[in-house]
């Protein structure tokens, strides 16, 4: 955690804030002496760190009309400040890449992460509960592209 604090807000992986357990004082790491803050870290202090590879997140697109409108994924951080996902999971989100707005929710506790992975993970929700049809699968341009890539010229 000390290294995350030293990295600050601009270097990934870093941290944005540190909240002191005893005083409740919240320090913004963009300004001030990060070395001093890192040196004073103690058990119980809250470090608000950046999203890292492998973090469990919930991803959804509103309106959430059914339980599969919000699903659990493992984050992979890219340098572009965008949310990306595999095209095979477009159907549950009813996503069509025409300017869709998606939401990302970060889970705070280990219990919430475990529960989300089991109940809301993509691996456990491949079939629709309505009629058992495959919900997560290659569709549209994904299939056409795969076909064209495998054809001999």
The architecture (CATH level 2) of 2-49 comes to 2-Layer Sandwich (3.30)
CB half-sphere exposure, 8, CA atoms < 13 A: 11
Closest by Cα among 122, 54, 124 to 89: 122
pLDDT at 122: 85
Question: Per-residue confidence of the chain (153 residues) as pLDDT tens digits?
Answer: 899 999 999 988 999 999 999 998 899 999 889 999 899 899 999 999 999 999 999 999 888 778 888 999 999 988 887 778 877 887 888 777 788 788 999 999 999 999 999 999 988 888 888 888 888 877 777 788 888 889 887
Cite the beta strand spans of the chain per DSSP E.
Answer: 15-19, 26-28, 46-49, 56-61, 70-74, 102-106
- Check if 2-49 and 56-145 are the same fold: no
With DSSP H G I counted as helix, E B as strand and the rest as coil, what are the percentages for the chain, rounded to 5? 30, 20, 50
| Strand 56-61 relative to strand 70-74, pairing | antiparallel
For the chain, what is the radius of gyration of the CA atoms?
20
Rounded to an integer, what distance in angstroms lies between the CA atom of residue 21 and that of residue 58? 28
Give the number of other CB atoms < 10 A from CB of residue 17: 16
The architecture (CATH level 2) of 56-145 comes to Beta Barrel (2.40)
| Strand 102-106 relative to strand 56-61, pairing | antiparallel
Q: Give per-residue pLDDT as tens, 86-104.
A: 778 878 887 777 887 889 9
Domain boundaries, the chain: 2-49, 56-145
pLDDT at 120: 92
């Amino acid at each position: 955690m000390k290294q995350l604090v030293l990295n600050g807000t601009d270097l990934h992986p870093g941290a944005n804030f540190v909240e002191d357990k005893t005083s409740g004082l919240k320090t913004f790491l963009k300004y001030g002496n990060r070395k001093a803050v890192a040196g004073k870290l103690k058990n119980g202090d809250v470090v608000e760190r950046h999203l890292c590879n492998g973090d469990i997140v919930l991803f959804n697109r509103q309106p959430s009309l059914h339980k599969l409108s919000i699903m659990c994924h493992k984050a992979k951080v890219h340098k572009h400040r965008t949310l990306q996902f595999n095209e095979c999971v477009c159907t549950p989100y009813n996503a069509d890449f025409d300017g869709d707005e998606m939401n990302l929710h970060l889970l705070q506790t280990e219990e919430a992460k475990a529960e989300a992975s089991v109940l809301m993970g993509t691996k456990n929700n491949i079939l629709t509960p309505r009629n058992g049809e495959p919900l997560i699968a290659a569709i549209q341009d994904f299939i056409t592209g795969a076909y064209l890539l495998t054809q001999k010229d």
